[in-house]
Structure 1
Amino acid sequence: MNRIVKLSDIRTIAELYKTSVLKAPAAGQAKGKPKPTYLDRISLFQGDITKLEVDAIVNAANKSLLGGGGVDGAIHAAAGRGLLDECRTLNGCDTGFSKITGAYELPSKHIIHTVGPVYSSSSVETKAQQLASCYQTSIDLAVQRSLRHIAFPSISTGIYGYPIKDATHIALDVVRKHFDSEGESTFKLDRAIFVVWSDKDKFVYESLIPEYFPPSESVTEETVEGESESQSEPVPESHIEDDQGEVEQAKEGHTTKD
């Protein structure tokens, strides 16, 4: 599918709670207090990151910044030759850091290239710090450029071998801490979007998001009321669709993970 995905098409986690896609965390599992304003600023999207019409998408790049496999190759292929030409001027990038370019033929305004760590069980703490830095330096660049929304792939969880659950904890923790540092009334990022490709990765995010961004009581009450109403109104079979019908590979031969 070649349809551009606008920000308004991407559901927030507030909407995911109301439709019971996300569930409140078990007692004692929440890693932060419920913040109602956060729920409209976080999204989980399954699909092709190169189709998102947002201020910035993040590319899980290698140190050369000249393209590679996974999401890196997909982004370079979709953006066109101009991206490679600009990346040649950047002199690469170290692990845990990020650099920004134009988006060229992509619908997003910018691409933030970050170099994730290659996972090693013998240096877990160092790798975790480097991965956290990928997310933080990407956010820092977005804020410095006054960009209001940023979309992240699951950095380092492809050929770099980072365990998806561990990596997701790190991603959510960094974004939660950034939101906490901004406060609830004045904030510089309107939306942080976590983009996944596989059902497996989607399940991990759905299971962990509630720990870092738990729902408020009002959202929980609305969900319970909605479930009660839906139980008395069965959905006609003609309205039931395969929710994977619109998820397809953007570039043949590429995945959306690195």
Structure 2
Amino acid sequence: MTQQPAIVLVRGDITEQHADAIVNAANSSLLGCGGVGGAIHRRGGPDILAACRELRDAPTARGLPAGQAVATTAGGLHAKHVIRTVGAVWSREEDRGALLASCHRKSLRVAAGLGARTIAFPAISTGIYGRPMDDGARVAVRTVRESARAPIAEVRFAVFDE
């Protein structure tokens, strides 16, 4: 039986996390924006934007669909990789929890493929995408418990505020 990774909650800035991989709650363009993505680009430096531009010349040229994940360098961050995933905009009329779960599951898969032992997630889809924090947390933790496997030893949720 494979041992479950530790799940840790920290209050802090995702860009200050010391982890093998940090996750960027990206927009589909992958080229940065405000929020978490903008902070990662500002702190990580131009190497991250250059890597994102290379992704735009690849199969993701039309943008990354919601629920998918890809990795780039972490530039000057305290991480080896940035994993980009696009959350789903929250809707009262349609349950998009499966897309949010896919963000976490695919990010974990990419991290494991990179040999990452530690990964830090922000609160995906709970900012400008509008998902209620408590619901987003339930989906995230449930998905990590069901999906995270070796080599990942620690999954950290870094939340910016209360």
TM exceeds 0.5? yes
**Who is 2:35 aligned against?**
70
- 1:202-258 CA distances to partner (integer Å, 9 max, x unpaired)? xxxxxxxxxxxxxxxxxxxxxxxxxxxxxxxxxxxxxxxxxxxxxxxxxxxxxxxxx
Query: Distance between the aligned counterparts of 1:97 and 1:113, measured in 2?
Result: 8
Which of 45, 66, 73 matches 1:102? 73
**Who is 1:162 aligned against?**
131
Deviation, structure 1 residue 129: 0.7
Q: Is 2:25 the counterpart of 1:54?
A: no
**Who is 1:193 aligned against?**
156
Query: Distance between the aligned counterparts of 1:52 and 1:164, measured in 2?
Result: 21
Query: Distance between the aligned counterparts of 2:51 and 2:114, measured in 1?
Result: 18
Deviation, structure 1 residue 198: 1.1
Which amino acid in 2 is paired with 1:93?
A: L
Query: Distance between the aligned counterparts of 2:129 and 2:40, measured in 1?
Result: 17
Q: Is 2:90 the counterpart of 1:119?
A: yes
Percent sequence identity over aligned pairs = 44
Which amino acid in 2 is paired with 1:46?
A: R
Query: Distance between the aligned counterparts of 1:197 and 1:74, measured in 2?
Result: 12
Query: Distance between the aligned counterparts of 1:73 and 1:100, measured in 2?
Result: 16
Which amino acid in 2 is paired with 1:67?
A: G
* Structure 2 SS opposite 1:88: helix
> Over aligned residues, Cα RMSD in angstroms?
1.3
Query: Distance between the aligned counterparts of 1:89 and 1:123, measured in 2?
Result: 34
Q: Which aligned segments of 4 or more residues in structure 1 are displaced greater than 2 angstroms?
A: none
Query: Distance between the aligned counterparts of 1:189 and 1:147, measured in 2?
Result: 6
Query: Distance between the aligned counterparts of 2:14 and 2:90, measured in 1?
Result: 23
Which amino acid in 2 is paired with 1:191?
A: E
Equivalences, count: 154
**TM-score, normalised by the number of residues in structure 1:** 0.58
Which of 105, 114, 121 matches 1:136? 105
Task: After TM superposition, list the pairs within 5 Å mapping 1:24-43 onto structure 2.
Answer: 38=4, 41-43=6-8
Deviation, structure 1 residue 42: 1.4
> Considering only CA atoms, is the larger Rg found in Structure 1 or Structure 2?
1
* Structure 1 SS opposite 2:98: helix
Identify which of structures 1 and 2 has the higher relative contact order when contacts are C-alpha pairs closer than 8 Å and 6+ apart. Answer: 2
Structure having the higher helix fraction is 1
* Structure 1 SS opposite 2:43: helix
* Structure 1 SS opposite 2:78: coil
Gaps of 5+ in 2: 56-60
Query: Distance between the aligned counterparts of 2:154 and 2:82, measured in 1?
Result: 16
Deviation, structure 1 residue 85: 1.2
Gaps of 5+ in 1: 1-36, 200-258
**TM-score, normalised by the number of residues in structure 2:** 0.91
Which of 174, 177, 198 matches 2:146? 177
Query: Distance between the aligned counterparts of 1:162 and 1:88, measured in 2?
Result: 28
- 1:96-139 CA distances to partner (integer Å, 9 max, x unpaired)? 10110000111111000000001111111xx1111000000000
